[in-house]
Amino acid sequence: MSSREKSIRREYSAVYSQFDSPLFQKVRSEAFEEDIGQHSWVVAKDLREYLDWLVLSTADQILDFGCGPAGPLTYVVSQTGVKATG
């Protein structure tokens, strides 16, 4: 592994290693009213509205580029049963 790859791996780990800690969960709950594992400004209420528009089913597959820790993607899968890659 190159030094650049090692550096990227360390940075990614530093950002996401505590993502599911009680502190981060509390911050997300207070900032967004509902913690769905978001690492962006998406809120659960809006995401549910988008899901209503999309009418996804278990036969569908979705791809999420740049999903980070995949919190909202995991939420979408749990709500719709779609197959997902992130």
Q: In which band, very low, low, confident or very high, does the pLDDT at 40 lie, cut at 50, 70 and 90?
A: confident
CA angle 26, 32, 35 (to 5 degrees): 55
pLDDT confidence of residue 21: 92
Q: In which band, very low, low, confident or very high, does the pLDDT at 3 lie, cut at 50, 70 and 90?
A: very high
Query: What does the mean pLDDT of the chain come to?
Result: 92
pLDDT confidence of residue 66: 86
In angstroms, the Cα distances linking 7 to 13, 16, 35 are 10, 14, 30
pLDDT confidence of residue 53: 96
Contact 48/79 with Cβ under 8 angstroms? yes
DSSP-based three-state secondary structure for 84: strand
